[in-house]
Structure 1
């Protein structure tokens, strides 16, 4: 069955998704029509997700396919999945029905592989797939399950061995740090369920295996691990380990998935790790597969978990989108110098944003400041925005952002700058977490992007589930003909309350609980004062909830509900009297966004070295001649970064600098660039040195 993208469907899509404009025939139309296995390397602002959306729209017009197959669309983040759904669902709802699937890599692996694997292997569906919960389980295992070697015993116990392995060559550090290192070591262990091995480190070195002298230690760890699986508790990576086992033992699953999904599209490929890429290739990319796979991304933007010299994605059969609709020519010329890897010189950032009549392209601005004048950076950014009348143009709705690599630092007393020390930034919870360590956080940090009461209701129920977990309360379930104990899920909790008869002075019914839940949810969404709602939920837990489930309210539970603490959250919009909205955010949080104007502020990340200095760092083996010949992308030179921190800075600035359509400002400490100002000017930067000059004058007056 041959399918082709039809021109009339592309025309329809142009009307819907790009306001009746037309896609260029050089890059975008060829990609939209391309239905062969390939990888698309797309520069920032090239409209890659829009091009993918249009391709999906066109393909949906021919659904259902005669062979019963469908389309699989995967992304790394929920944000991208939400964007695709928001744009497409109203125009082609059939794309969101069986046999199609649109979701994250994690949700796909859980639904089709890890969940059935866990049920077959451990008689439980996945209840909690969360790294934070898993890390707490690791800490509990280390502190409460493992024992030290006792005086007089000759053989070291597992706890001693893990402690020694985790702190080998660690130097003079405290016992507290050594314990934390051991917890981290256990947390990052990989489990090979096929070959029955426990692996550690980046090279997956074998720590223990079933067939070996350390079988006892292998069993001690895996018994703990498998007990978590029986209760449906998995880390994100556990899903992939189980999926690998499932595919190995049930190879026909691959054939079924290949038949179901004729087309597979994966966005944000640069953020995927090797084990995620491998599982998708394992399912869909083999010599017998007829599935078409197209992977989309930009290796230069691989900053998600940790910045690597090379991202794990190795592109094949490469196509390109080099034209950036977002970037102006001058900004694109600068950003192109920050590309870390340029595939055979075919990957070029080319600015294609068309200037309006009488519009002049704005030069990138280098804003100098000092530690003493850092507090004036926001007002200076506002001033530059207004000088160019950007606050009056239609594109202002794309927003104005001040961004930095480092939001908060552990050691902020050392004088090195981050967004918190400059602007008072506090990390906003953007991860849409479902589980927290206190009731106070559950009622404040729910996902506020949802326009209904669903998110807060879900968060309250999760808090009640957490209490049952602390109390070790389980439910008897019948799975495949056998009765097994499992922790409560939200649906189990609701079902228990529906069937519960409380006889006393009054009758508590499910309807009354529903009213409580609705009132709590409504008040949390509409009220800024969360303390009374916290007190009401806490009172409910200590009384009715305690009686229903016969709880003891052990120390863990008491600590969980102990006190209300106002979460220190930054208000996203900082509004001045002229209604100029500016958001303070990290580079990671704005990845994928488009702004009207962006100010990138250099900060110190971990080590007290700023981006301008990291780009200049010589490698350890550099000769004097090589150091003198070092080229800096800020001066519109092809970079020569070699050190890990230099490459980190390069990629971070590539992402941050490529956000704005009109104005890019780079705010730097004057002392870091004082010897390079002529080079900046020659490279086309406009120097703004008011904040340094003001400080210098004030110092002279004092003297």
Structure 2
């Protein structure tokens, strides 16, 4: 089968307003139907090229052998983009035997759901990390610590030693590590072992078998309920393929072509599973993976990847960026970590800016100190006005953004004086919320709790804390024996849950869990705090009152308020926070939050993650001696091609990737705000390299 030129012409009319795909890079890729990987620079229109190929292929549907096309991406947003652009023109592409969806939905649909039914007698009911974490919390708080000298140790004592092995930790930190383990461990169903950050913690065939079995039973009971986290789907799918190998052949026959967009965002277990299905010796399926390996900046552990899990093969390249100008691309190219060099050492992955402006704009280096941080936003706006960018089409379409690597300090920065976004831009962290966990009304519990985490856990925690506050107002306690003496204590979250579990009616606890999940979702996601308030208030005055024999005294009545009291100035910390509503609106966010975005103008402000970006890029390969000067590696901030060493310079490589993503956002203006104290060369050297210099410290 061949892609016809007439169909490419139709795709050009539909997708790029009748312009033409270039004959050097895009047309050859569109026509290539063999297994290959497309590596594309930022703003190159790689997804558009994929859409054109899919459109052309759809003109050949249905295939004579009854096979179809599998189109996968990492996110639902990317899948929706494909549907939005193509579904009305080629609806057959979205019908059987074809499949368009995320990698997760593909694995669930064709493998994990069947595996769960075969092995555990249940279809997947919930595939959700948040709901799974609720179960983890319940399990964790149900575990009992063994007494000093008790043998064998209870599971939680054993886990404390295993997950904290080789580390000196405080008790609370060690407990949090156990909780993290329960949320993140990889359950290898085939080999019967539990893996945590690439380390086997427990396995069936070992002296610790009883502990393994206790955790395996808990995990498999969740599977029997149809409750999985996202990673579990892949573990079940892998087990299914190992035990029913004929499924591979069925899937290979079903899908003649597999296309994967944004491949750099996939993790190794996702890539390996797709390869295990389709890339076998006798497979006729053609696989094409598309993305930018230099933009793989995050994984499930939230750390920056210095190397993408995706290892490209049979590479094709899109090096022309329609987003970037020549002036910006020359700098961005210096921040390309993996240049995909050929056998002669020549780079095959090169960022070439194709956008042309009537008045070219150099990248601007803005030097600041702690006394002048208040000038950064206004300086950015002045540059926008100076270049009349607010009058451009791109201004209205993409807007202006200030970005940084590190947003805020977990400890509010109390133990150092380095800067993150919250220290530089007061508007970024303008929140009327408290870090404390106790308040005097239910309304405040549902509004003033710490929302720093993008999960349901903070809402769950504050609801439980509100229930504990009610028990405290009613002077309700539980009894505990310490050294043979019975002591009364106010309720904790774990004791509260334990007492609810011990209610005579077996359905009480399951119903409470469902309510807790529903309330948390309504607060954190659905923005229905008012409705949730009424539901919780009604619950306290009825079921909760009955369970704990409450009077609903005057203190509790005051705590509940007569009605929901919406508190003013509640502004959540999000990744995109409008700074103000002035003439030129500028938004602030992290580098992670703008990945994939286009801006008219971008200001990247260096912040401290271990150290500042400019510090981490200054690598001293050899210290000076009496006879020889120090050797400093090339610095990409000076438009120099980096020469970072294999298995070394990991912090510099992380920084390179973050700045590559951040620097490659703007269509017109790029600014980098650097602390002047971090200059490693005279300012003239930066100017001669290609920067326009603005010094706010003068």
TM range (shorter): 0.7 to 0.9
**Partner in structure 1 of residue 417 of structure 2:** 415
Residue number in structure 2 paired with 1:188: 184
Residue 126 of structure 1, CA deviation: 2.2
Q: 1:111 to 1:427 in 2, by over 3 A?
A: farther
In the alignment, the residues of structure 1 paired with residue 249 and residue 132 of structure 2 have an alpha-carbon distance, to the nearest angstrom, of: 32
Instruction: Tell me how far 1:284 sits from its aligned partner.
Output: 0.7
Kindly state the Cα deviation for residue 382 of structure 1 after the two structures are TM-superposed. Answer: 0.8
> 1:499 maps to what in 2?
none
Q: Judge conservation of contact 1:471–1:551 (CA < 8 Å) in 2.
A: no
CA drift of 1:212 comes to 3.4
Contact 1:618 1:643 (8 Å CA) reproduced: no
Q: Quick one: distance in 1 between partners of 2:264 and 2:238? A: 22
Does residue 164 of structure 1 match 2:161? Answer: yes
User: Structure 1 residue 198 and structure 2 residue 194: aligned?
Assistant: yes
The answer to whether residue 350 in structure 2 is matched with residue 349 in structure 1 is: yes
The CA distance in 2 between the partners of 1:139 and 1:543, in whole Å, is 26
Cα distance change, pair 123–253 in 1 and its aligned pair in 2 (3 A): same
TM-score (norm 2): 0.79
The answer on whether the counterparts of 1:407 and 1:427 sit within 8 Å (CA) in structure 2 is: no
Q: CA deviation at 1:655?
A: 0.6
Q: Which moved more, 1:209-218 or 1:64-73?
A: 209-218
Distance 1:343 1:233 in 2: 42
| Contact 1:326/1:352 (<8 A) preserved | yes
Cα shift at 1:541: 5.2
- Counterpart CA distance in 2 for 1:627 and 1:132 is 51
Give deviations 1:437-481, integer Å, cap 9, x for gaps. Answer: 537999xxxxxxxxxxxxxxxxxxxxxxxxx999789xxxxxxxx
Distance 1:668 1:154, change over 3 A: same
- The separation in 1 between residues aligned to 2:294 and 2:629, in whole angstroms, is 25
Q: How does 1:686-697 map to 2 (within 5 A)?
A: 686-689=692-695, 691-693=696-698
Structure 2 CA distance for aligned equivalents of residues 340 and 100 of structure 1? 36
1:70 matched residue in structure 2: 68
> Is residue 2:660 matched to residue 1:646?
no
Please show how residues 238-257 of structure 1 align to structure 2 within 5 Å: 238-257=232-251
Instruction: Quote the offset at 1:540 in angstroms.
Output: 5.9
Give 1:199 deviation, angstroms.
Answer: 2.9
SS at match of 2:304: coil
Partner of 2:405: 405
SS at match of 2:256: strand
Structure 2: tracts of 5 or more residues without a match: 432-449, 464-496, 516-521, 551-555
Q: Distance in 2 between matches of 1:569 and 1:630?
A: 38
2:225 and 2:499 map into 1 onto residues whose CA distance is 14
Whole-Å separation in 2 of the counterparts to 1:470 and 1:229: 26
1:320 CA displacement:
1.0
State the secondary structure of the residue aligned to 1:403. strand
* 1:469–1:659 CA distance, 2 compared to 1 (3 A): farther
Task: Indicate how the Cα distance of structure 1 residues 373 and 317 shifts in structure 2: closer, same or farther if over 3 A, else same.
Answer: same
Distance 1:220 1:427, change over 3 A: farther
1:21-36 aligned within 5 A: 21-36=19-34
- From 303, 306, 312, the equivalent of 2:297 is 303
2:328 and 2:353 in contact (8 A); partners too: no
Q: Which residue of 2 aligns with 1:600?
A: 604
Unmatched runs of 5 consecutive residues or more in structure 1: 443-467, 474-483, 494-519, 694-703
- For 2:13 and 2:83, the matched residues in 1 are separated by 18
The one of 452, 455, 459 aligned to 1:438:
459
Q: In structure 2, what is the Cα distance between the partners aligned to 1:635 and 1:554? A: 71
Aligned position for 1:457: none
Mapped pair 1:332 → 2:310: no
CA–CA distance in structure 2, aligned partners of residues 421 and 48 of structure 1:
37
Q: Give, in whole Å, the separation in 2 of the partners of 1:674 and 1:135.
A: 46
Residues 323 and 355 of structure 2 are in contact (CA less than 8 Å); yes or no, is this contact kept in structure 1? no
**1:427–1:489 distance in 2 versus 1, CA, 3 Å:** farther
- Stretch of structure 1 that moved more, 26-35 or 248-257: 248-257
Residue 38 of structure 1, CA deviation: 0.5
- How far, CA to CA, are the matches of 2:65 and 2:179 in structure 1? 50
- C-alpha displacement of 1:362: 0.5
> What root-mean-square deviation, in Å, do the aligned CA atoms of Structure 1 and Structure 2 show?
3.6
Partner of 1:447: none
Q: 1:597 to 1:471 in 2, by over 3 A?
A: farther
Q: Distance in 2 between matches of 1:250 and 1:113?
A: 10
Aligned partner of residue 343 in structure 1, secondary structure = coil
Query: Match of 1:450?
Result: none
Q: Is the 8 A contact 1:331 1:351 kept in 2?
A: no
Contact 1:404 1:600 in 2 (8 A): yes
- 1:210 Cα deviation after fit: 2.5
Question: How many pairs align?
Answer: 606
Deviations 1:139-181 (Å, cap 9, x if unpaired)? Answer: 4333313x3333453433332222112222323x321111112
Paired residues of 1:441 and 1:567 also in contact (CA < 8 A):
no
Give the CA deviation at 1:18.
Answer: 1.1
- Aligned partners of 1:332 and 1:349 also within 8 Å: no
587, 591, 594: which is aligned to 2:595? Answer: 591
Equivalent-residue separation in structure 2 for 1:354 and 1:233 (angstroms): 49
Which residue in 2 is equivalent to 1:454?
Answer: none
Aligned partners of 2:39, 2:123: CA distance in 1, in Å? 37
CA change 1:32–1:431 in 2 (3 A) is farther
8 Å Cα contact 2:140/2:179 also seen in 1? yes
With over 3 angstroms needed to count, the CA separation of the structure-2 counterparts of 1:155 and 1:531, relative to structure 1, is closer
Q: Distance in 2 between the 1:586 and 1:628 partners?
A: 33
Q: Give secondary structure in 2 for the equivalent of 1:325.
A: strand
Partner of 2:447: none
**Partner residue in 1 for 2:366:** 367
Partner of 1:613: 615
Tell me: CA distance 1:551–1:132, structure 2 relative to 1, closer, same or farther (3 Å).
farther
* Corresponding position: 1:657 with 2:655: no
Q: Are the aligned partners of 1:39 and 1:296 in contact in 2 as well (CA < 8 Å)? A: yes
CA distance 1:182–1:267, shift in 2 (3 Å): same
Alignment CA distance shift 1:371-1:253 (3 Å): same
Between the aligned partners of 2:535 and 2:509, the Cα distance in structure 1 is 25
